[in-house]
Amino acid sequence: MDIERFIPDSNPNWIVRHETLYYKKGGLIPLFKKIDGNYYISLDRRATKKVTKLMKKLQDMGIIFYLCDRMTIAEKHIYNEHLERIIRNYLLALSDENFFYHIQNSNFDYIQNLTDFLNMYDCHRLFKKVYDSLLNLHFLKISIDWYTRTKYHEIKNEEIRDFYQILERQIKLNIFFS
Torsion angle in degrees (nearest 10) through CA of 95, 56, 52, 64: 60
Contact present, 22 and 14 (Cβ < 8 Å): yes
Structural domain spans, the chain: 3-177
- Which residue stretches of the chain are H helix? 48-61, 80-93, 97-105, 110-121, 124-134, 158-177
Q: Which residues of 66-103 are buried (b: 16+ CB within 10 A; e: fewer)?
A: bbbbbebbeeeebeeebbeebbbbbbbbbbbeebbbbb
pLDDT greater than 60 at residue 178: yes
pLDDT tens digits, residue range 28-44?
Answer: 999 999 999 999 999 98
Q: What is the pLDDT of residue 29?
A: 94
Q: List beta partners, residue 144.
A: 151
pLDDT tens digits, residue range 59-103?
Answer: 999 999 999 998 999 888 999 999 999 999 999 888 888 888 988
Q: What is the pLDDT of residue 173?
A: 92
The residue with greater pLDDT, 142 or 93, is: 93
Q: Amino acid identity, residue 161?
A: R
